[in-house]
Amino acid sequence: MLSNDLASWLLAHVSGILVSKFPAGIDPNSFIDMKRLRFALPEDMQTLDSHTLQTILKRSGILVDGKIYAVAQDANVFIKEKVEAAFRAETSIICYEAFLAKHSDDLAAYNICDVNTLRTVMQKAFQDSFHSCQGYLRKSSASSTAEDLKRVFAGGSPLTYAEIQQRLPYCNLEQVKTILRTTESYISTAQETYISIDSFDISLNDIEEIQLEVVRLIHEQGYCSMFQIHLERILENNPQFGMRGVQAAVFQKALAGQYSRNYYVLTPLNQPMSTNEILAGEIRRRERLTLSEIEDIHENISGTHNYSSLEAAYAVMVRIDRDLFVSAAQLRFDVAAIDGALDGFITKDCLPLREFTAFLSLPWCRFTWTSYLLGSYLRSYSRRYYVLWPVANSSNIGIIVKRRPSNWNYDDAAAQILAASDIPLESRACGKWLAEHGVYGKSLFKKLPEVVQAAQQIREKRGA
């Protein structure tokens, strides 16, 4: 049995041996490693029994993946300083991976280069003071990321992910994102920015007025857009939320559990409707709509407008020119006669929509033919032709194709047109040509190399 003083001296001596002679660790079950260790001891200690030597060895370092590594005293001092400083601030839980990432260079100098080693060092250093569980060191058994987030959001201001990391430098950011996205305690006010709903100021009277307004709108329309609810005064009381945040907070405080919500659209509970469904329904009720009016309807429903405004309009109305859509009942399409007239001018499998100009040859349909009207006809009425669009647009970017069994997508059809042209298949020249002929809206686009390559293969196959 070693005396306390001798045991302490031997412990320090073995620790020094590990640092100098076993930087890559020592295997306590290896006969050769243990023999090297024994020979490194002073002569009067080389006869220690194996059990005592093993005990001293295990106390001298940390066991990681079957090997014992030395931990320099400086490493323990460095880690303790960082951990204790964090626990004195707003942090109550430290993610080992985050700690390693933040101090990787410093820790590497102490041969702490992976999470397993760091975890073992920290568990040993704080075994009498803090709690270690799975991937975390906790200030107390009750510590959690959720509790840390409550503290940092208690000030009532919105915080970005970067700001949260500044306040909680050793947090698991992915776990933070999950908590913010999936719990009702936080509201998104902008991209990667959140605020606690606890700081939202709304009176019971405001809640009652909002509930009555929603009831009225759903009774009249079958739905309610968050943009139809008058929230200006509530926004004045909660400027830090912004309108996006106010809308989300109002739903949680006043409407959750009573209605289904799809982004900004509210419908009776368990009767969800998409923005496009509602937009199409609103458009269908009108006889004539300008493009601007359609965009206004979309914006009133969802707060914005984009190409889906056009998709909805094309689905239920006929576009007769750039700015005007009319109900289908106002037109008379003689499909057989119109398709027959098209047969005389569309001689290839594909034709850019802009390149059809023989509108005087098409039978009268109560409106003057334009590229816009032709696109609508091809989309919904023709039996022999169809129009492909990269996306619904107001520039007549599109391709007329013959309606026959085909799995062509838009880029396939573009390659067919390019292959049938006489232009050399050089990328820049092809991009310019495709843009000039209304196949694409610009001369440089992501899939240009693929379209050119496909056109080359088509020409080779045809023996061109």
Nearest CA to 238 out of 157, 150, 152, 181 is that of 157
Residue 138 has pLDDT above 80, yes or no: yes
What pTM does this model have? Answer: 0.64
- Overall residue count recorded for the chain in this entry: 464
- List the strands of the sheet with 131-133, edge to edge: 93-95, 136-138, 131-133
Most confident of the ranges 105-114, 116-125, 180-189? 180-189
For residues 290-302, give the mean pLDDT: 88
pLDDT value at residue 109: 82
Distance CA(91)–CA(121), nearest Å, equals 20
220 CB-near residues (< 8 Å, 6+ apart): none
User: Which tens digit of pLDDT belongs to each residue from 334-379?
Assistant: 999 999 999 999 988 899 999 999 999 999 999 999 999 999 999 9
For residues 111-119, give the mean pLDDT: 84
Band of pLDDT at residue 10, cut at 50, 70 and 90:
low
Band of pLDDT at residue 239, cut at 50, 70 and 90:
very high
Lowest mean pLDDT across 65-74, 233-242, 269-278, 297-306: 65-74
Nearest CA to 195 out of 207, 184, 209 is that of 184
Band of pLDDT at residue 76, cut at 50, 70 and 90:
confident
Lowest mean pLDDT across 124-133, 249-258, 333-342, 394-403: 124-133
Q: How far is CA 199 from the centre of its chain?
A: 26
User: Which tens digit of pLDDT belongs to each residue from 249-269?
Assistant: 999 999 999 999 888 889 998
- Mean pLDDT over the full length of the chain: 88
Widest Cα–Cα separation across the chain: 114
- List the strands of the sheet with 288-290, edge to edge: 288-290, 324-327, 317-319
Residue 59 has pLDDT above 80, yes or no: no
Distance CA(308)–CA(144), nearest Å, equals 43
Tokens of 456: 């080359």
pLDDT value at residue 306: 76
Residue 20 has pLDDT above 90, yes or no: no
Residue 154, classed as helix, strand or coil, is coil
In the chain, domain spans: 4-70, 74-197, 204-273, 276-330, 342-462
User: Which tens digit of pLDDT belongs to each residue from 152-209?
Assistant: 999 999 999 999 999 999 999 999 999 999 999 999 998 999 999 999 999 999 999 9
For residues 41-60, give the mean pLDDT: 72
Residue 137 has pLDDT above 90, yes or no: yes
pLDDT value at residue 406: 67
Q: Which residues lie across from 195 on neighbouring strands? A: 187
For residues 18-24, give the mean pLDDT: 69
Which DSSP helix (H) or strand (E) runs through 63?
Answer: strand 61-64
